[in-house]
């Protein structure tokens, strides 16, 4: 499938599934190296809904004990960020003293990540790191390092592999970009 139509837009393949899989494997290798000897299993916090596909593939490539939970925030409408972040689902158990890896599908401005990190840090974990499938360094507005980045991209609007356009396209195995924009 080279092109798809979602609502009013046509998208074309930008990153094939095989390339995504290699990038996920590389970030998993780094996590395996960093957390293999952790005293307590780290907790992976997937950001719903976009990070589900990435988190699922990532966890299957890890070779250390870990736990998983989810958070949900909202900041997008269509292809644009609203600039406002709302938490819809948070952590409902004690994470005091635990290492947290916040797993996101894409980090752009950083507003959502900062909101979630502030929330998680209020729960007194040992550490909070970010692991993202895609990172847009040109759009990022914060000094905080994004430690685990699978792929850097430009400012394109993309869908597939968990990322959506008005809730459509999350199940696509490749990454697609808007055509002619």
All domains of the chain in start order, with CATH = 27-156 (3.40.50.2020)
Q: Which two tokens stand for residue 64?
A: 């250390």
Distance from C-alpha of 88 to C-alpha of 43, rounded to nearest angstrom: 19
**What confidence tens digit (pLDDT) does each residue in 24-33 have?**
999 999 999 9
pTM (two decimals): 0.89
Structure confidence at residue 87 (pLDDT): 56
Find, among 125, 115, 128, the residue nearest to 72 by Cα.
Answer: 115
Q: Tell me if residue 156 is catalytic.
A: no
Active-site residue (options: 67, 108, 145, 152): 108
Element (H, E) at 20: helix 17-35
**What confidence tens digit (pLDDT) does each residue in 95-147 have?**
999 999 999 999 998 888 998 899 899 999 999 999 999 999 998 888 889 99
Cβ–Cβ under 8 Å, residues 41 and 141: no
């Amino acid at each position: 499938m080279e092109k798809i139509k979602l609502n009013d837009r046509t998208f074309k393949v930008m990153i094939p599934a095989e390339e995504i899989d290699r990038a996920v494997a590389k970030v998993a290798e780094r996590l395996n190296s960093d957390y293999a000897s952790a005293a307590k299993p780290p907790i992976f916090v997937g950001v719903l809904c976009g990070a589900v596909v990435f988190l699922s593939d990532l966890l299957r490539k890890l070779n250390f004990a870990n736990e998983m939970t989810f958070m949900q925030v909202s900041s997008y409408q269509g292809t644009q960020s609203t600039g406002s972040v709302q938490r819809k689902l948070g952590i409902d158990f004690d994470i005091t003293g635990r290492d947290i890896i916040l797993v996101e599908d894409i980090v752009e401005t950083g507003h959502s990540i900062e909101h979630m990190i502030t929330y998680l840090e209020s729960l007194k974990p040992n550490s909070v790191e970010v692991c993202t499938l895609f990172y847009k360094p040109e759009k990022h507005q914060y000094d905080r390092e994004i430690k685990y980045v699978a792929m850097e991209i430009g400012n394109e609007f993309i869908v597939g592999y968990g990322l959506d356009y008005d809730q459509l396209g999350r199940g696509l195995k490749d990454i697609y970009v808007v055509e002619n924009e």
